[in-house]
A and B are shown apart, each in its own frame.
Chain A
Amino acid sequence: MAQRYNSGLGWADVTPKAGWLNRRHLMMTMGAALAASPALAATGPYSTDEAPNSLEDITSYNNFYEFGFDKTDPAAHAGKLTTSPWAVEVDGLVDRPGSYDLVDLLKGLPVEERIYRFRCVEAWSMVIPWNGVQLSHVLDRVGVQPGAKFVQFTSLARPEEMPGVKAGLLDWPYREGLRMDEAMHPLTLLATGIYGEPMPNQNGAPIRLVVPWKYGFKSAKSLVKITLTDRMPYTTWNALQPKEYGFYANVNPEVDHPRWSQASERRIGAGLFASRVDTQKFNGYGDLVADLYKEQDLARDY
């Protein structure tokens, strides 16, 4: 399905599919692909050149509480999720509000291939080759009104298909938010796929937010609603534990989470001896985003 939103050369073209399943294999084929294919170079200034995690890593270790608390729950239970048809409601301070079919919402927009670092607030990380469109393009399409200062994202909460929603594990639906300048930033993606394939259900099919300089919980999955608003919106984790989860949630080794040190992170995927690496401020995207916060005290606005 989401295949339809992909255009041009993708990971599928440069990486033999079997290779995705096996990291070592992938690294070998990557070397060849990098040498042979201009398509990868075209991933542009926003992608990292770090080796992405295997599809197996990315699809079997997920925090998606709609399907349960365990990291293996989404892979186990998300198979039942119906992702087609899929509508996204756009409301609030926009010129063209309405319920958009996903295909119409994205039609004609350039599909980007972005290899981003992904850093969870629990101090682990992966490298993920996303496909998707810039959120800014979608917002331009619906026409943001001048009064809009923030964007709220709402995820699907369908108890029949989501055991964690049925069990009431959190205050559903899951909601997240961005300030307008964060939402319009070219790094901010509405992702529809991974490795050139449609978004796996457990990763937030069919469309999810990806904000690579913020902790993973900001990147809401399976979006059904985008709301433009003039005030800082309700966000799920912040409402649950405001001292632990700020609205901004920028990756920042200097600002500790009360529960986990954020100084370093474990890179998932290298097995028993996966190395712990230093966490970078803004997850390494400081060149591109630090300016957004130059007037803010990031220890206060965490």
Chain B
Amino acid sequence: MLRDTIHRGLRPVRPWMVYTLGVLPALLLVIDVFTGNLGVDPVKTIEHRVGEVALQLIVAGLCITPLRRFAGLNLIRFRRQIGVLAFVYATLHLLVWITLDLQFRWSEIGADLVKRPYIIVGFAAFLMLLPLAVTSNNAAIRRMGAAAWQRLHWLTYPAAALAGLHFILLVKAWPAEPLIYMGAILALLGLRLIPRAAPRRMPA
């Protein structure tokens, strides 16, 4: 069975190896910077690419639980690394915005953070990821207790929805890409609403 093949294939993969994989998009960007492959507006290209990687990692993180539940595929031991990487790319994205895009024009940065819906929403998503990244270690789980830790990590859901919304708000007109991401995020959140054990329907 495919599922078993995947499980067997992944057996030697250690969770930390996900980080090695996660460096690749950043490495590609660096290579593109040096080979002049980023087009005539490299700043926007970098800003978009790291933002998109962050969003893809958020979507990937949301897939883990439904994959286990509905496909029996257990990738749970990679979830932390995926989440941390999502945070790292979101942070890079924010830093690119502050440094290369707005170039430390603090008054404009401040104005954008309170006035632009897409920035407010993106920043809110980032702020939600922050405590999740900080508590993505065993010590934090022990300190907080599993229940409280779990409750905190439900922040993933609003963070994902806000990240998807951020993308929709920043484009003009209605290109397909942000809508597809948003659709995927809402579908993945929706799957979680399906009751665990379908309650037996009483005959009328």
Contacts and interface: CB of A to CB of B under 8 A. Distances in A.
Do A and B form a real pair?
yes
Interface of A: 56-57, 60-61, 65, 69, 71-72, 122, 124, 169-170, 240, 256, 258-261, 263-264, 266, 268-269, 271-276
A256 B115 contact: yes
Contacts of B170: 259
B39 interface: yes
Interface string B41-71: 1111010000000000000000000000000
Contacts of A61: 39-41
Given A259-B118, A276-B103, A56 B108 contact: no
Interface in B147-183: 169-175
B38 to A, nearest CB: 8
Nearest to B109: A261
Contacts of A124: 41, 44
Contacts of A274: 41, 43
Contacts of B100: 272-273
Nearest to B107: A263
Contacts of B101: 266, 276
A69 B170 CA distance: 13
B102 interface: yes
A274 to B, nearest CB: 7
Given A65-B173, A261-B111, A266-B101, A72 B116 contact: no
21 contacts: A57-B40, A61-B41, A69-B171, A71-B41, A72-B39, A169-B173, A169-B175, A170-B173, A256-B115, A259-B117, A259-B118, A259-B170, A261-B116, A263-B108, A264-B108, A266-B43, A268-B40, A269-B40, A272-B33, A273-B100, A275-B103
A121 B75 CA distance: 45
B4 interface: no
Contacts of B175: 69, 169
B14 interface: no
A258 B103 CA distance: 21
Contact of A264 (B42, B105, B116, B117): B105
B167 to A, nearest CB: 13
A143 to B, nearest CB: 37
Given A261-B112, A274-B43, 12 more contacts: A60-B40, A124-B41, A258-B116, A264-B105, A266-B101, A268-B40, A269-B40, A272-B38, A272-B46, A273-B100, A275-B103, A276-B101
Contacts of B173: 65, 69, 169-170, 240
A56 B40 CA distance: 8
Nearest to A122: B172
A271 B40 CA distance: 7
B170 to A, nearest CB: 7
